[in-house]
Chain A
Amino acid sequence: MMLFGARGRYAALVFGLSFAVLLITQQLAIFLGILDRATGPLQNIGIADLWVASEGTRYVDIVRGIHQRELWRMRSVPGVEWAEPLIVTPAIAELPDGGFHEVQVIGFDRVTMVGRPPILLDGRLEDVLLPEAVLVEATSRHRLCNLTTGEELRVNQRRARVVGVGQARTGILSHPQLYTTLENARRFVPALEGRMTQVLVGLKAGAARHQVLAELSAIPGVAVFTTDEMRWRSKMYIVFQTSIGLNFALTVGLGLVVGLIVSAAAFNQFTGENLPHFAMLKAVGTRPAVLVWLVLVQAAVAGLIGYGIGIGLAGLLAIPGLAPDAELTSLFPWQLMAGGLLPMLLCIALGSVISIRRVIRVDPVTLFQ
C-alpha cells in the first residue's frame, strides 16, 4: 500500500516493466515468426518422411545439386516407398514492367507432383505440364507486378508463362516462388541439367525409419534428415549462422536490461523514501518476514500489471504478423506468453532483492533522531 500511494512512482515502475515485457515478447514473437518462416518450404511438403540433400546442407533453402543417378540408388533402398526429386533454385525474373526480381524456382516431378503448391487458387494444375508454364505463388505475387494467369515473364532470360496461381508458405527471404516441372526448372537453370537439389522420400508402412535413414546416408555425397531434423537444422542455421539470432538476442537483452534498471531504480527509490516507515514498522514489532512479504506483494502486483499490459500490447502488435502474407511475420504461441513472465520475474526479483536487503538492515534506532 505504501508504493500504491506513490502513484507517480508506481506508474513509472509499471510503465518500465510493461515496456520491458513488450520489447522482449514482441521481438521474440517476430524472431519465432522468422524461424517459422525459415521452415516454410518444409511445411509446404508435409508428406515426405525423409529429406535427402547434398552433404553439408545446413539450411533447407541453401542446397547444391545431387546427380540424377543417385535417385535410382535411393529408390532401390529397402523400405523406400517412393523417392521424388525436387529442385529449389534461385533465378532472376524479368517482369512485364521492365523491372526484375529474384525469384525461387521450385521444380517438381511431372507425374507425382510431390512438391507442388499445397493450394491452387487459380488455373489448372495440369497446365503446369506445358512447356514454359509456371504457377506463381499468391502471397508474394505483388512483387511480380501481380502477375495473373495468361501473363508472361522471363526467368533467367527464358520465356515463362503463368498458368495459374498457387498458395504456399514462402521462405525467410520472402522471394516470390514460381512452381513448375523439373524439366521447365532445368530449362530456366541449365546448370541443374541431370541434377536435382533435394529428394523427398516416403517410407513403406512398417519400415524402420532409422534403418532406411542409415542406408540412404551410405550413398556418397548425400545427407539424409527427417523432416524434424531438417526443420531444427534450418532453425539453428538462422540462429547461429546469420546475424538474425544475435540481433534479436541483443534487442531482447536490451529489453531485459531496461526492465532490470527501471525496476531496480524504482524499487530502490521507493525503499529509500519509505525506510523510516519500515523502521517504524520494525520498532512496533513487525517481524522481518512480514516486511519482506510487504515488499514482495508490492513487487508482484506491479510486475503482474506490467506483464499484463506488456503482453497485451505485444499480442496486439503481433496480430498483423500472423497473416500468411505478412511482410513482418510473427508467431505468438502460449509458451511465449508464459515465457514473458520470466523476464518480468527477473526484473521484479532484482528490484525486490535490493529493497529487501535495505528493509531487513534498517535499524529502528534511526527513528530516534
Chain B
Amino acid sequence: MSRDAQSTTFSAEGNCVIARDLVKVFGSGARSITALRGASLTVEAGRLVVLAGPSGCGKTTLLSIISGMLRPSAGRVSVFGVDWWQYSEDQRGRLRGRLVGYVFQRFHMIPTLPVLYNVAVPLLARGIARRAALDRAAEALAGVGLERRLGAMPAELSGGMQQRVAIARALVGRPRLLVCDEPTANLDSRTGREVMQLIHAASRATDERGAACSVIVVTHDYQVMRFADEIHEMTDGAVLPASPRLLERVRVLAGIHDDLAPPETAKHV
C-alpha cells in the first residue's frame, strides 16, 4: 500500500488520477464553507484506493471533483491526462461517460426500466446501437451474477441485487476509473462484502488492451477498507496517509491480522 501519494509529479504517466492542492469553497463571505484545503491524491492505474474519514471531511467533494462533476476553487486534477475543465459541459459529459463508471450509495436505478435497460443506459447514451448495447448489458449483468434477472424491475430486487445492477451499469462501458460513493452504506454486512468483492474484481480485471480499471471508494466502512490497495484518510479537507490507528482498526474489526487483502476474489466482471 502506497503511503506517499503526495510526492508524485503532475504527470499522467502510470497514474490514473492526479489531484494537486485542491481547494473547494462553497458559498462566499462569512457563510462560506471550505470543504477541501489543499487536498492532493494520486491513484495508480489498476489500484483500488479507499478514501476514509468521518462525515463532512470532504471525501465526497474530492470524489465529485475527481469525477469532473464539481469544479475546484483552486488546484488541478487530471484523470488519464484529462483536465475536465478544459472542455465544455457537453464534452465533459461524454468524456465522463467514456472514462468513468459510477456506483452510488443510493442505486439510482430508473424504476420504470427493467434492469437490462438500466444497465444499457450508459451505452445508449454513447450512441451504441440498441441491440449491441443490450447484449453488452446482459454480459455485464451475468458478470455480477444476475443473468437470470434481466427483465426484472428494480423494485423487484433486493438492495444488494440493485447495487450489483449498479455495478454492472458502472462497468458496462468498460471505464478506466470506477468511482464508488459509500457503495455498501445501504447494505447488510454480508451483502456489502459481496458487493465489494465485485468491485475488487473489477479493479483486477483488464480490458482487451490490457488496461486495468482503477477504483476509488469513499467509505467509512472498515469491511470495505479490507479490499483496498491503498487507504487514505481525509481530515478537515486534506488527504493524509492512513494512520496506523485506522489500519489497526481495519485489521481488528475486519478480523484480519496481517494484511488488507480481500478474503476471496469474485469472478471478474
Contacts and interface: CB of A to CB of B under 8 A. Distances in A.
Nearest to A290: B125
Given A367-B102, A368-B69, A287 B108 contact: no
Interface residues of A, number: 26
Interface stretch (A25-33, A58-66, A138-146, A276-284): A276-284
Given A277-B110, A280-B108, A367-B102, A285 B122 contact: yes
Interface residues of B, number: 30
Interface string A350-369: 00000000000001110111
Interface in A172-190: none
Interface in A204-229: none
Contacts of B60: 368-369
Contacts of A2: 110, 112-113
A1 interface: yes
A266 to B, nearest CB: 16
Determine which residue in B64, B110, B113 has the highest number of CB atoms from chain A within 10 A of its CB, and name it: B110
Interface in A261-287: 274, 276-277, 279-287
A6 B112 contact: yes
Contacts of A282: 93
A327 to B, nearest CB: 48
B181 interface: yes
B94 A287 contact: yes
B266 interface: no
Interface in B104-156: 104-106, 108, 110-113, 121-122, 125-126
A5 interface: yes
B151 to A, nearest CB: 14
B175 to A, nearest CB: 10
Interface string B189-222: 0000000000000000000000000000000000
A288 interface: yes
Contacts of A280: 102, 104, 108, 110, 121
A363 B106 CA distance: 16
A285 B112 contact: no
B97 interface: yes
Contacts of A364: 69
Given A1-B112, A288-B89, A368 B63 contact: yes
A188 to B, nearest CB: 73
B90 interface: yes
B268 interface: no
Nearest to A288: B90
Interface of A: 1-2, 4-6, 274, 276-277, 279-290, 363-365, 367-369
Interface of B: 60, 63-64, 67, 69-70, 89-90, 93-98, 102, 104-106, 108, 110-113, 121-122, 125-126, 169, 173, 181
5 contacts: A5-B111, A277-B108, A284-B125, A285-B122, A285-B126
Given A2-B110, A367-B108, A368-B63, 6 more contacts: A283-B102, A285-B95, A286-B121, A290-B125, A368-B64, A369-B181
